[in-house]
Structure 1
Amino acid sequence: MNQTRRARLSLAALIPTLLVRANAALYDTVVDTQYGKLQGYPAFTSEPAGNLTHWKDIAVWKNIPFAATTGGQNRWKAPQPASGWNGTRDAKSFGNVCPSATSGDNDYTIDEDCLNLNIWSPANSTDAKLPVVMWSYPALSTAADALFDGGGIADQGIVFVNYNYRTGSFGWLSHPELSQEFEAVTGSNSSGNWGMLDQFAALKWIHENIADFGGDPEHITVMGQSAGSAATQHIVNSPLTQGLIVGGIIESGVRDPHDPLCTSLAENYKTLDYNLDQGIRFLENFNVSSIAELRELPMNDLIVSGGTFGSDSEWDFTATLDYYAIPDTYLNTLLKGLAQDVPLLTGNTKDESGATYGLNITVAEFMEGMAETFSEPWLARFLEQYNGNTSVTASAAYNAQWTDRSKVGTWLWASLWATAKASPVYTYIWDHAPPGQDQGAYHESEINYVLNNLYGTDMPWTALDYAIARKMNTYWANFIKTGNPNTESLAAWPAADTNGTVQHVGNGWGQIPLTSEAKIELFEAWFDTLVAY
C-alpha cells in the first residue's frame, strides 16, 4: 500500500473520533474558565426514574465560587470578587452552604465561605449557546437540596444554575456604621441587602462565565419560589441588574401591593430606619459597640431565628427598602415602570398563604379568623361572599377566601404591571397534591414537577405524577426558551388580561375563572382602601 493511500485511511479512521469528541458531553473534557480549569461529572450514572430523554448528555459542576468568602472583614459587605485557582478544580461535590440554612439532612458544611454555584448543562460543546435559567431557592434551604436538582430542566436543552446566598443576620443586617461603609463604596447611605447583592453577583457571574458551559449569556431567565421568588422579583426590578435577563419566573411571590400579606410573606421588606434600629439593638444584644467587634464574633453566635413567616423571634431580618438595590416601593415600581420590561410567569399553589388543606374549624373559629383580617364594613361584605355560618361550610369558606385572595391579588399585580410595561405576564394556580403527605397542594409542592426531578426525592410517585411533571416542565422550559410557555402539545395558556382568568395546572389544564366576578370586585375594592407597599 502506498504512503498516500495509507495517509488517507489514517485520516478516515480519525474523523469519526474527532466528531465524537466534538459532540461529547462536557464532562468528558476539562472546561477552561477565566478563574481556572474545571472538571465536571455526569449528572446521572444510570437512567433516572421518570421521563428524561437526554440524561446521558447532562454534565454537572458543583461548588464553583462566584465570590470570595463572606467571613472576617467581608462580613456584611457586598460580595467581593472570587479568586482563581491553579491546576484543575474537581467539581464533583457540593460546597459549603451559608449560615442560617437549616433545611435538609445537614450533611453539608456550614461556613461563611459559601458563595458558590452549581451548573447542569446538556451542551456537547462550549459553543452551544443554550438558554440559561438561574434558580433561587426558598427560605431555610440550600443549593445542595435535592429538591432543586437541575437535571430535569437541563434535559430540555437548558443550562440550569443554582447558588447559595446569605440569609438571616448575615444577609440582612443594617447598621449606621455599615451604611457609612457602603456609602463610601457606592454613594448610597444604606445597608442591609447583603443577601440580595449576593443574588445579583451570582447573576453577573453567570452572565460573564456561562458561555464556558455551553450557555448563552444573552439569554438568561431568573426563577425562584417563595424567598427565591422575592429574589427573582428584586432582580427584575433592580437597576443593578439591567440588561442581564430576558425573563422571570416568580413562584408564590407577587400579589397586589395593597395586600397586607406583602408585609409578612417572602417578598416583605422594611424601611431603612426600621432595620437600622434593629441593627443597633442587635449589637447591644451581644454587648458590643462596633461593627468591628461584631465581625470578630464566632459565626455560630450570629445564627439567630427570625425573618420567616410565622416566626415569633424578636429578630426580623429581611430586605431593606434602600432605594439602591430596591428602587422604590412595589406599587411605585409598577406604576413608574422601573422594572425591566421582560416576560414574566407567576402564580400560586392552592394550599398556601393562609389556606390550609384538611382544615377543620368551628363557626366561631371561622368568625374569629375573618374578623382578624377584615374590619367593618368589609367583614359583613366578605361574609356575604364566603358563607361559613355552618360547621359544614366554615372550613371550606375560610380556605376559599385565602386562595381567592392569592389568585385575585396576583391578577391585579399583573394589571398594574401592564400600566407601564408591554411584556406579558402568565399567571397560574397549582392544585395537585403530591403523594405521601397530608398538606394538599402546599407551599413548594409544585417545585418537583416544575423542575421534573421526581427522581431525586423520596416520595411514592405514581405514573400520574410523572405525567404532570412532564407537562409542567414543558410549560416552564418553553417559557425559559421563548418567553412564552405555550406549545402545541399542551393546553393554550394566554397571557393575563382583563377577563379575570388564570391558568389551571396540576389536576387540570387550561384557563379557569379566578373566582366569581362579585368576589373579584370585592377584593379589588378592599385592596384600594389599604396602604400600598
Structure 2
Amino acid sequence: MAKSLCVLALGAAVAQAQLWGQTIETSYGPVEGFQYFNESTLKEYFPNTSHSNVAAFLGIPFAADTGFQNRWKAPQPRQPWKETLNATEFGYACPSKYRTKISEDCLNLNIWTNAQNADAKLPVMVWSQGSDATSDDSSWYGGGMALKDVIVITFNRRDDAFGYLAHPELNREGFMTTGHETSGNYGILDQLEVLKWVQSNIAKFGGDPDRVTLAGQSFGSSQVYHAVNSPLFTGYFHGAIAESGIRYPYDTLLAGIATSYTNMSAALEHGTNYTAFHNVSTIHELRSLSMEDLLIGSQDSVDGEWIWWVTALSTGYPLIFKPVLDDYVLPMKYIESLIHGPANDVPIITGNNKDESGASPMTDYTVAEYEYYCSLKYGNLSSRYFNLYPDFNSSHIKSKVIADQAWNAAARDTSLIGSWAYATEWYKSAISPIFTYYWTHAPPGQNQGAYHESEIMYALRSLYANADLLPFTEWDFEIQEKMSSYWANFAKTLNPNYGGSFTGKGSLPHWSPNNASGTQIVMELGNHFGNVPIAKPAQVNLIMDYFHQQIPY
C-alpha cells in the first residue's frame, strides 16, 4: 500500500472541529475513524491547503458475511455490534484469485470526509472499481477528493461466480423472494446495498443523502450504467460517472469488454456447468463447499469464438460470470433503454481513454495481419475503411509502422464515435445532460500511454497516494487539479463546470454537454482541455455505417 496512507493520522491534530476521534453511531454499530493527512503530506502534495479536516473510516461492514448459506443471495443484514469499531484498516476483499487478503466476509466500505461536523451536508461520491479489484487501491484513495469537500466512499463487492452465478434453483429462490425468476446479479445488489447504507448513515459523517453521485471505471462503470437502467436504484443516487464505460449498443466491441452482460439462458448454462464441475448437483451442496474450492473455475472464460477477438481486438474480457439480463435487476438491453428511456434519468459523465479498447502504443501487427483482421471486421465496408485508414504512405509504400498507426487511429475513433452516438441517442428519451470526454495524458514513467485506468488518479485527486510509484511532474499536478475539479463540481452541482472546486492557475475550461443535434465534438481531458472533433466526417460515417450493420446489444 503506497506510503502506508492509512496511518498518516499520526501527524499533529489540527485545533478545530473534525470527525476523527469521535464515535459515530451507524445502523449496525458505533465506529471511530482517524485523521487522514499529516502536515508533511499536505505541504508536499497540497501546498495551497494549510490544514485538513479529512477523517477516514476504513473497513466498515455494510452487510453480513456472504459465505456458505448466504452465498448467491442479496446482501443480508449484519448482526449489530456494540463495541466501537476502530475503522483504521481496509477490510477483506471479496474472493478472487488475483487478491491475497480475501474472505467471503467482504462487504465493507471506506469513507473519506472533510466535514467539520455532522451538519455539513457535503455531496457524496460512491466509487465502484473494476472487476476483481479491491477498494484498497491507491488509485482510488479518497483523501484528495475529500479536500475538495466531496465525501468519497469505496467498497468491496462480489465478482465472478461469487457475484454473478445464475442457476435454475437460484431462479426459483429469486421468485420466492421477489416474484421474479432472477439470479446472477448479486454483485450489482451489493452496490445497491451500499447506496441504501449511504441513505441511512451518511448524514452522520457530514454527507447529504440527496446529493449522491455514483461513479466507477471499467467493470465499475458498467455497475454505474446498470444502476442508471435499473428501477431498483431509483432514488438512491442523483448523478453518474462512467469512466471507460458507456458505448453505443451497436458497437461489436461491447460484447467483449467489462461493460457487457449475458442473457439468462447462457448464464444458466454456465451456472449448471460450474455446479457439475464441482461434482455436486444442487445449490445446497455448492453452498457447503469451501471458498478455496469455489475459486476454481470462478473466473472461467469463453474460448473458441473469442480467440480472434482477444488477439486482434485486445478486449481481454471474455468472462462468462457477469451481469445477467434477468428482467428484474437488469430489465432491458442497452438498446432498449436508449429507445424507451433509462429507469433513472440523471446527469451523466462518460468517456474513454486514448490507449484502451484495442488502441495501444505497443501495437505490433504486420501489414498482412492488419489487412486480414480489418477485412474480417469490416467486410463489405473494407474498401472504404482502408481508404480512410491506409497502411501505406503517399507513395503507396506499405509500412508496418503506418499499419499500427492506422489500427490505433481506427480503434480510438471507434471509441469516440461510440460515446458520441450514445450521447446523441440519449436525448431521444432522456432530458438530463450527458457529458463525454476523451482522456489523452500518459502518466510518466511507463510505456503504455494513456492506458486503461490511467485517468482515475487524476480524476479522484490521488496522485499523492501514487507518488512513490510514478515520477509525477508539476504538469501532472496541474492536470490533476483541472480533472478532479470537474469531477468534484459534478458531485456538487451535477455540472462539471460549476461548484467552485478549481483552485489552480487561470480558469477551468468550459465543458459543454453533448446535444440532441449530434454536434461531432468531445471534451479532451489531459494533454489539452477543450473541445475536439470526434473524427473526420467521412470516418464518422464509415463507423456509423459499420455499427448499423450489427445486431444491437
**In which range does the TM-score fall when normalised by the shorter chain?**
over 0.9
Provide the residue aligned with 1:273 in structure 2.
265
In structure 2, the CA distance between the partners of 1:34 and 1:358, relative to structure 1 (3 Å rule), is: closer
Q: Of 485, 509, 514, which aligns to 1:496? A: 514
Largest Rg, 1 or 2 = 1
Distance 2:192 2:252 in 1: 27
Q: Of 64, 74, 77, which aligns to 2:73? A: 77
Distance 1:189 1:159 in 2: 37
Q: Does residue 486 of structure 2 align to residue 466 of structure 1?
A: no
Q: Does residue 514 of structure 2 align to residue 514 of structure 1?
A: no
- What 5-or-longer segments of structure 2 have no aligned partner? 1-13, 303-308, 393-397, 499-505
1:338 deviates by 2.9
Number of residue pairs matched?
A: 508
Distance 2:318 2:337 in 1: 30
Distance 2:35 2:427 in 1: 43
Aligned residue runs from structure 1 range 148-227, under 5 A: 148-227=140-219
In structure 2, the CA distance between the partners of 1:270 and 1:216, relative to structure 1 (3 Å rule), is: same
In structure 2, the CA distance between the partners of 1:229 and 1:126, relative to structure 1 (3 Å rule), is: same
Aligned residue runs from structure 1 range 39-58, under 5 A: 39-48=32-41, 49-51=44-46, 53=49, 56-58=52-54
Distance 1:182 1:369 in 2: 43
1:101 deviates by 5.9
Aligned residue runs from structure 1 range 35-434, under 5 A: 35-48=28-41, 49-51=44-46, 53=49, 56-100=52-96, 102=98, 106=100, 109-303=101-295, 304-306=298-300, 310=310, 316-375=320-379, 377-389=380-392, 390-391=398-399, 392-434=401-443
TM-score calculated relative to the size of structure 1: 0.92
Distance 1:264 1:289 in 2: 30
Distance 1:234 1:314 in 2: 19
1:120 deviates by 0.3
Would you say the 8 A contact 2:163–2:184 is kept in 1?
A: yes
In structure 2, the CA distance between the partners of 1:43 and 1:198, relative to structure 1 (3 Å rule), is: same
Cα RMSD, aligned residues only: 1.8
1:204 deviates by 1.2
In structure 2, the CA distance between the partners of 1:503 and 1:147, relative to structure 1 (3 Å rule), is: same
SS at match of 2:24: strand
Provide the residue aligned with 2:305 in structure 1.
none
Identity %: 43
SS at match of 2:287: helix
Distance 1:132 1:235 in 2: 16
SS at match of 2:190: helix
SS at match of 1:472: helix
Distance 1:69 1:34 in 2: 16
TM-score calculated relative to the size of structure 2: 0.89
1:356 deviates by 1.2
Deviations 1:393-451 (A, max 9, x none): 21110000000000000000111111111111111101110011110000000011011
Deviations 1:207-245 (A, max 9, x none): 111001000001100000000000111111110010111
Distance 2:199 2:236 in 1: 7
Deviations 1:295-323 (A, max 9, x none): 11110111133369959999611110111
In structure 2, the CA distance between the partners of 1:170 and 1:54, relative to structure 1 (3 Å rule), is: farther
Distance 1:429 1:435 in 2: 18
Q: Does residue 472 of structure 2 align to residue 478 of structure 1?
A: no
1:54 deviates by 6.5
Would you say the 8 A contact 2:108–2:155 is kept in 1?
A: yes
In structure 2, the CA distance between the partners of 1:381 and 1:313, relative to structure 1 (3 Å rule), is: closer
- What 5-or-longer segments of structure 1 have no aligned partner? 1-19
Would you say the 8 A contact 1:51–1:470 is kept in 2?
A: no
SS at match of 1:196: helix
Matched letter for residue 465 of structure 2: G
Matched letter for residue 30 of structure 1: T
Matched letter for residue 382 of structure 2: L
